[in-house]
């Protein structure tokens, strides 16, 4: 898995495992979430942005609906290019959220094709693009290992603010629609029944309407076998 525990109190946000292990923020960051932040940080998601289909990432989730994420090539151009390339290769289709944690971490992590936390795409890693975008509700950030230049395909979406992650992870976008479906992502490390990305699109590619995942076939009683009759 690509997450690690934090070091002893007072240490910086470093990792206790080699770069080949899990990616993602530490399980219990040293820096506390700020108290008394604005209602936008805790509850809302900014939506007053002009349309930019080429930089709008669309995720259809098995939790019930479509999520639109405004990408930020102005502050994280390399990570945005990586995500758009992988999306157009259908890399994210079917991938699960393998690590989903409520407070204090407040995030859902996905983007690993193995579902274990230690996988990534076959593209080269992306160098750090730390910026001033905060890790607030709806922020989308690049997961990495101890190596700050190890971001690749994994990412995490914030359920709430965790400003201790700022300047240690590359924020490359923010949810602008569909945060209710992010909130419904199944919790766990890993979740027992993980939420999947059914399909991922770039809005400029004219994605079809959202389609829910087909219902699973009911299990047969023990000892029975399904028989398909000829037509």
- Percentage of residues of the chain with pLDDT beyond 90: 69
Take residue 35 and report the two structure tokens written for it: 């108290």
pLDDT of residue 50: 84
- For residue 74, with 0-12 CB atoms within 10 Å meaning exposed, 13-18 middle and 19 or more buried, which class applies? exposed
C-beta separation of 170 from 79 below 8 A = yes
- Percentage of residues of the chain with pLDDT beyond 70: 74
pLDDT of residue 220: 60
List, for residues 71-88, the tens digit of each pLDDT value: 999 999 999 999 999 999
List, for residues 119-150, the tens digit of each pLDDT value: 999 999 999 999 999 999 999 999 999 999 99
pLDDT of residue 141: 98
C-beta separation of 197 from 108 below 8 A = no
- Inform me whether the pLDDT recorded for 193 exceeds 60: yes
pLDDT of residue 18: 33
Residues 6+ apart with CB under 8 A from 167: 130, 132
pLDDT of residue 219: 60
Residue 1 confidence class, pLDDT cut points 50, 70, 90 = very low
pLDDT of residue 215: 76
More confident residue, 6 or 167: 167
Residue 153 confidence class, pLDDT cut points 50, 70, 90 = very high
Long-range own/partner contacts, residues 43-47 (CB < 8 A, 24 or more apart): 43/137, 44/137, 45/137, 45/138, 45/174, 45/175, 45/176, 45/179, 46/138, 46/174, 46/176, 47/176, 47/177
Q: Residue 120: which of 82, 84, 167 has the closest Cα?
A: 82
More confident residue, 174 or 36: 174
- Inform me whether the pLDDT recorded for 42 exceeds 80: no
In the predicted model, what is the mean pLDDT of residues 47-68? 92
Residue 48 confidence class, pLDDT cut points 50, 70, 90 = low
In sequence order, what DSSP letters do the residues of 100-129 get, joined into one string?
EE-TTT-EEEE--TTSSSS---SSPPB---
- Inform me whether the pLDDT recorded for 221 exceeds 90: no
Instruction: Set out the domains of the chain in order of their start, with CATH numbers.
Output: 51-205 (2.40.100.10)
What is the rounded distance in angstroms from the CA atom of residue 141 to the CA atom of residue 158?
8
Residue 28 confidence class, pLDDT cut points 50, 70, 90 = low
Residues 6+ apart with CB under 8 A from 228: none
In the predicted model, what is the mean pLDDT of residues 222-228? 56
Question: What's the pTM value of the predicted model, to 2 decimals?
Answer: 0.79
In sequence order, the β-bridge partners of residue 196 are 96
In the predicted model, what is the mean pLDDT of residues 97-104? 96
């Amino acid at each position: 898995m690509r997450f690690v525990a934090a070091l002893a109190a007072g240490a910086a946000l470093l990792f206790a495992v080699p770069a080949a292990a899990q990616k993602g923020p530490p399980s219990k960051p040293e820096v506390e979430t700020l108290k008394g932040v604005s209602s936008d940080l805790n509850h809302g998601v900014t939506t007053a942005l002009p349309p930019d289909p080429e930089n709008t990432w669309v995720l259809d989730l098995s939790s019930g609906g479509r999520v639109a994420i405004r990408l930020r090539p102005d502050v994280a151009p390399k990570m945005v290019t990586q995500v758009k390339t992988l999306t157009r290769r259908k890399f994210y289709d079917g991938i699960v959220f393998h690590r989903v944690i409520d407070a204090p971490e407040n995030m859902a992590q996905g983007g690993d094709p193995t579902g274990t936390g230690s996988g990534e795409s076959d593209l080269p890693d992306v160098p750090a693009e730390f910026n001033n975008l905060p890790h607030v509700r709806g922020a989308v950030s690049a997961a990495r290992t101890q190596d700050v230049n190890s971001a690749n395909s994994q990412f995490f979406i914030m359920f709430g603010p965790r400003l201790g992650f700022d300047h240690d992870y590359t924020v490359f976008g923010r949810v602008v629609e569909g945060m209710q479906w992010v909130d419904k992502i199944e919790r766990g490390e890993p979740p027992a029944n993980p939420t999947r990305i059914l399909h991922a699109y770039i809005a400029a590619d004219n994605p079809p309407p959202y389609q829910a995942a087909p219902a699973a076939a009911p299990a047969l009683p023990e000892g029975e076998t399904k028989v398909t009759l000829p037509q």
